[in-house]
Amino acid sequence: MSEEPTPLSPSQYNKLLKAAEERSNRHGFTVYALGYTGLRSSEFSRLSCEWLNSGEQMLQVPEDAVKGIRSRVRSIPLSEDGVERFENFFRTQSEVAIAPSTVTKRVKSVSEDSLSENVTPQTLRSTFTTRLLQTGVPQSEIRQLLGNTPSKWDMMPVGEYGVAEKKIRSGLY
């Protein structure tokens, strides 16, 4: 049985992000995107410029984001800084196009050097989730942002966020 990853504190996440950005643009973008969107490593590995809607400040995750698995289509709000980072990344390439294992290697290599801990993409997804919870985002919105199956108690229409959108746009860390 695998253990749930321990989320990073805001200071740990910022230290990891700084170290990743110092390592390379690829490492920095990987850690930023995972920590600020809650994408799965398999989704990030297929990230494409077509997912970015700059005008609406949203990342549109399609149902075929994970090869062979149909998941819920969802939109993830981005801050102005987030849109700028995604646009900068997509100026030089149109997609991430790496294996999920490469995503994991990038995150782990930076975390071992900067935090002396074993941080994985799942840790960053857990950090994103925890940060949303700590800022008062309802669990129904978090489930939707993560692409999880909604609970029968979730009454919110797909694509509407309210609290989550405000918190993400104002900055999580």
Summarised one tens digit per residue, pLDDT across range 85-110 is: 999 999 999 999 999 999 999 999 99
Tokens of 143: 């489930």
Domain annotation for the chain: domains and CATH numbers: 10-170 (1.10.443.10)
Residue 93: which of 52, 60, 130 has the closest Cα?
52
Q: Per-residue pLDDT tens for 154-164?
A: 554 444 567 88
Distance, CA of 160 to CA of 87 (rounded, Å): 24
pTM of the complete model: 0.88
